Amino acid sequence: MAVSATRELVLVKLGGSLITDKSRPYTLRAGVLARLAQEIHRARLERPLALVLGHGGGSFPHVSARRHRTAEGAVDGQSWEGFLRVHADAARLNAHVCRALELAGELPFPVQPSAVAVARARRIERWDVAPLARMLAAGLVPVPYGDVLLDEAQGCAIASTEELFRWLSQQLRPTRVLMAGKVDGVLDGRGTLIPELTREDLPRLRADLKGSDGAADVTGGMLHKVERCLELGAPTLILNGLVPDRLRLALLGESVPGTRIY
């Protein structure tokens, strides 16, 4: 689905551990989020970019998702209450992200995955992206986020931003994907940055790709991120969003430290 003949389409994720403090429930890194929003706006002033900006849940929905075992599905009598709670927590963070973008000068539009997508065994099977494509054509910035989904196999599930991007990449065909976290990229067992990674590298690195921060993360951490990035069909860069101006430079196509996944 073509979005624009004149603007490059880029998918950008702001990691949950980047924009929240995952060691403290419901704690926003407001200063970091504001700076990242400003970097995005500055890049869009310098280069004609169409953006889908997704974000992780960080310390907002991950705690409630683990408490209610939402990733496992409808497992007991409290599961649907948990389904609502996890969604509310995710939407709460999404409102913060959209507000930061608005204050920076952008026109963000929240996109609620649980209202538009259906999964089977934790994988999205249906999602009509025509409204999202029209938002992009109008110059808006759609802002989807890691959310709960109705799941035809297990009742309910959680869709990470990487899973959302897997579907969106198939439908919208972005030229590249940027994943901003709080480390320089994918690190090996010795803590050394891996500059490039392909599917052939995954088996030997699998044991090293742990969940982030040792905090609650129901979507699989770095291993899940890399596995989904290998499915995107577009060059992907994992970079450190804590370093000022790095996201802006990456959006402009400049070379920055990180892990490039092909």
Q: CB under 8 Å to 131, separation ≥6 — which residues?
A: 116
- Tokens 């960080």 correspond to 58
Angle at 80 between CA 161 and CA 132, to 5 degrees: 35
Asked if residues 19 and 186 have their Cβ atoms less than 8 Å apart, the reply is no
Per-residue pLDDT of the chain (262 residues; tens, 9 = 90+): 555 557 899 999 999 999 999 899 999 999 999 999 999 999 999 999 999 999 999 999 988 999 999 999 999 999 999 999 999 999 999 999 999 999 999 999 999 999 999 999 999 999 999 999 999 999 999 999 999 999 999 999 999 999 999 999 999 999 999 999 999 999 888 889 999 999 898 888 887 775 444 444 555 568 878 888 999 989 999 999 999 999 999 999 999 999 999 8
How high is the pLDDT of residue 1? 55
How high is the pLDDT of residue 14? 98
Burial of 17-52, coded b for 16+ CB within 10 Å and e otherwise, reads bbbbbbeebeebbeebbbbbbbbbbbbbeeeebbbb
List domains and CATH numbers for the chain.
Answer: 8-261 (3.40.1160.10)
- Rg (alpha carbons) of the chain, rounded to whole number: 17
How high is the pLDDT of residue 219? 53
Q: Which among 106, 6, 22 has a CA at the least distance from the CA of 57?
A: 22
How high is the pLDDT of residue 15? 96
Note the pTM of the prediction, 2 decimals: 0.91
Q: Which among 17, 85, 21 has a CA at the least distance from the CA of 55?
A: 17
How high is the pLDDT of residue 5? 54
Round to whole Å and give the CA distance between 114 and 101: 22
Round to whole Å and give the CA distance between 213 and 204: 22
Asked if residues 172 and 9 have their Cβ atoms less than 8 Å apart, the reply is yes
- Angle at which helix 79-104 crosses helix 61-68, to 10 degrees, equals 170
Secondary structure E strands in the chain: 8-14, 49-55, 108-111, 117-120, 123-127, 141-144, 147-151, 155-159, 176-181, 196-197, 236-240, 259-261
How high is the pLDDT of residue 111? 98
How high is the pLDDT of residue 4? 52
